[in-house]
Amino acid sequence: MSPASTPFTRFQTTLTAVLERLKPSPAERKFLSEPQQILEAKLPLTRDDGSKTEFPAYRVQFNNARGPYKGGIRYHPAADLEEVKALAALMALKTAVVNIPFGGGKGGIQMDPRKLSARELQEVSRAYVRAFQQHLGSDIDVPAPDVNTTADVMAWMRDEYEKQTHTFSPSVITGKPLSYGGSLGRDTATARGGFFILQELIDREALDPQDLKVAIQGFGNAGGTMAHLLHNAGFTVVAISDSQGGIYSADGIDPVRVEKYKRKTGAVAGEYCEGSVCDVQKMNMDGVKHVSNGELLELPCDILIPAALDNVITAENADRIQARTILELANGPTTPEADVILEKKGVRVIPDILANAGGVTVSYFEWVQGRSGEQWTAERVDLELRRIMLDGYKMVRRTAYREKMSYRHAAFAVALRRIIAAMKARGWVNV
Ligand code: NAD
């Protein structure tokens, strides 16, 4: 990775490689390479102690050729314009690869939400909506949760939007609580979407889950749910980690037990370790080893699931990865340089824009329910999610095979062709 690499330049590297193959017109290339609109604001906040502060906030509207902009809002100190632009671009491709009628956008507030009280958090969230309200709307731009934003935050935002616009707008935002226009199945959707792909992949190759070892980085919404799904389906989850490190057992780890200890001690290694001090005797008895987040990626396993941060599989460690399949539940975990190394090694990478598209897919169901006034059953959500994820996966697999591309390049190609077709149909670019 070059030192100047940012999330957006990493996106552009892959984009450029795929556009070489697609040969778009200059006008198409321009639309696909830069956001249509970048909105910026400074959100004022009066702290609980009476002092005043402000936070930089962004909404990037990347492309709406296929439908309203769609994408989450991230609260994080690293959520700067470069990161939000990259995530907005990935959203445009993600909605296209699973063929749901949205474009792509993303938002962010550059701050550490853990340093805010509940009142302050609500105030900043409402200020975000007031700052960008005229650019949001169920037919214009539909935000959702992302890192550090919850269903409660979405509820405050919907409420603020309805107050400002004097409307009833359940579909202005997704990821809301069930009591205020949310959809069943949204909380587990990202992991379930990835799980459906893994199931299809192993069925096709007549593999038995019992023989497959999985390592998962991240034990939050995406990684934690995935650990339970895989364990229940008979896979052997050999490693799990969170921000404080992880544990590895070649014989398998029970995610229920890990969750219990994480709840009690705040860390997945909590049953064995407090900070850097571990009970070695107990670990030996249970056949468990403490691993760092870096070590987890290189463990002997069949399937590796990055489900925490971006930029973790790089040119530096890609060669040491032992898994034969990587399923990217996190956004942007693999750099373009690492992709090249993995492809040479024959590692199959199911890319983020496909693997974690379950979340935005159920967001789409929530948007549909808000517009129609219906409430879908959990069974209907699951059935439709499975159909959409498998359609997307099969299209990408076919493209990869026919055009001799990696799955990431194939997913980009499928998505870009759909966006170009919509831009042509709308007369934005020459037919
Ligand atoms: P989360 O906040 O629920 O969980 C994140 C997990 O990562 C936590 O277990 C945390 O301890 C761990 N983590 C944090 N820093 C880490 C580090 N340095 N090393 C290892 N682990 C670390 O977040 P989430 O919703 O599960 O999202 C995880 C990833 O999945 C993000 O990249 C997100 O963009 C992506 N994603 C999530 C969804 C969704 O619906 N939740 C949808 C699409 C993509």
Q: Report the atom number in ligand 1 closest to the C-alpha of 225.
A: 26
Q: Ligand 1 centroid to 75 CA: how many Å?
A: 13
CB atoms within 10 A of CB 220: 14
Residue 3: per-residue pLDDT: 52
- Separation of CA 109 and ligand 1 centre (Å): 17
End-to-end CA distance of the chain: 38
Contact 256, 228 (CB under 8 A): yes
User: Secondary structure of 223-289 in the HEC alphabet?
Assistant: HHHHHHHHHHCCCEEEEEEECCEEEECCCCCCHHHHHHHHHHHCCHHHHCEECCEECHHHHHHHCCE
Q: Which fold has domain 189-355?
A: Rossmann fold (3.40.50)
| Ligand 1 pocket member 151 (CB < 6 A) | no
pLDDT in the model for residue 414: 98
* CA-closest residue to ligand 1 atom 18: 243
Q: Of the residues 87, 91, 190, which should be mutated to test ligand 1's pocket, given the most ligand atoms within 8 Å of the CB? A: 190
Cα–Cα nearest to 175, from 187, 190, 191, 161 = 187
Residue whose C-alpha is closest to residue 197's, from 48, 97, 58, 49: 97
Please tell me if the CB atom of residue 242 comes closer than 6 angstroms to any atom of ligand 1.
yes
More confident residue, 375 or 279: 375
Could you report the per-residue pLDDT of 19-71, keeping only the tens digit for each? 999 999 999 999 999 999 999 999 999 999 999 999 999 999 999 999 999 99
Contact 363 CB / ligand 1 (< 6 Å): no
Q: What is the pTM of this model?
A: 0.95
CA–centroid distance, residue 375 to ligand 1 (Å): 28
Across the chain, mean pLDDT equals 95
Q: How many CB atoms lie within 10 A of CB 187?
A: 18
Residue with tokens 């017109």: 25
Beta carbon of 215 within 6 Å of any ligand 1 atom: no
Can you tell me the mean pLDDT for 134-151? 96
Percent residues over pLDDT 70 in the chain = 99
Residue pair 419/30 in contact (Cβ under 8 Å)? The answer is no
220 CB within 6 A, ligand 1: yes
Q: What is the pLDDT of residues 294-328, one digit of tens each?
A: 999 999 999 999 999 899 999 999 999 999 999 99
Residue bearing the bigger pLDDT, 198 or 274? 198
- For the Cβ of 233 lying below 6 angstroms from any atom of ligand 1, the answer is no
- Which atom number of ligand 1 is nearest to the Cα of residue 331? 32
Q: How far is 64 from 96, CA to CA, in rounded Å?
A: 11
326 pairs with which residues across the strands?
Answer: 304, 349
The pLDDT score that the predictor gives to residue 1 is 43
Q: 33-173 and 189-355: same fold?
A: yes
Catalytic residue (choose from 106, 213, 262, 289): 106
Domains in the chain: boundaries: 33-173, 189-355
Structure confidence at residue 431 as a pLDDT band (50, 70, 90): low
User: What digits encode the pLDDT tens for the residues 93-109?
Assistant: 999 999 999 999 999 99
Query: Contact at 8 Å (CB) between 335 and 355?
Result: no
Cα–Cα distance, 185 to 39 (Å, whole number): 31
pLDDT tens-place string over residues 252-299: 999 999 999 898 888 898 888 877 778 888 888 888 899 999 999 999
Q: Is 260 a catalytic residue?
A: no
- Picking from 14, 107, 53, 43, the residue whose alpha carbon sits closest to that of residue 353 is 14
Distances from the Cα of 108 to the Cα of 40, 51, 162, 240, 323, angstroms: 10, 23, 21, 28, 33
Give, to the nearest 10 degrees, the angle between helix 7-22 and helix 26-33: 160
Closest residue by Cα to atom 5, ligand 1, is 220
Homologous superfamily assigned to 33-173? Leucine Dehydrogenase, chain A, domain 1 (3.40.50.10860)
Lowest pLDDT segment from 49-58, 265-274, 347-356, 371-380: 265-274
Alpha-carbon distance of 362 to 188, in angstroms, equals: 9
Are 305 and 226 contacting, i.e. CB atoms less than 8 angstroms apart?
Answer: yes
The stretch 87-96 carries a mean pLDDT of 98
Asked if 237 contacts 199 with a C-beta cutoff of 8 angstroms, the reply is no
Helix 336-345 vs helix 7-22: crossing angle, to nearest 10 = 60
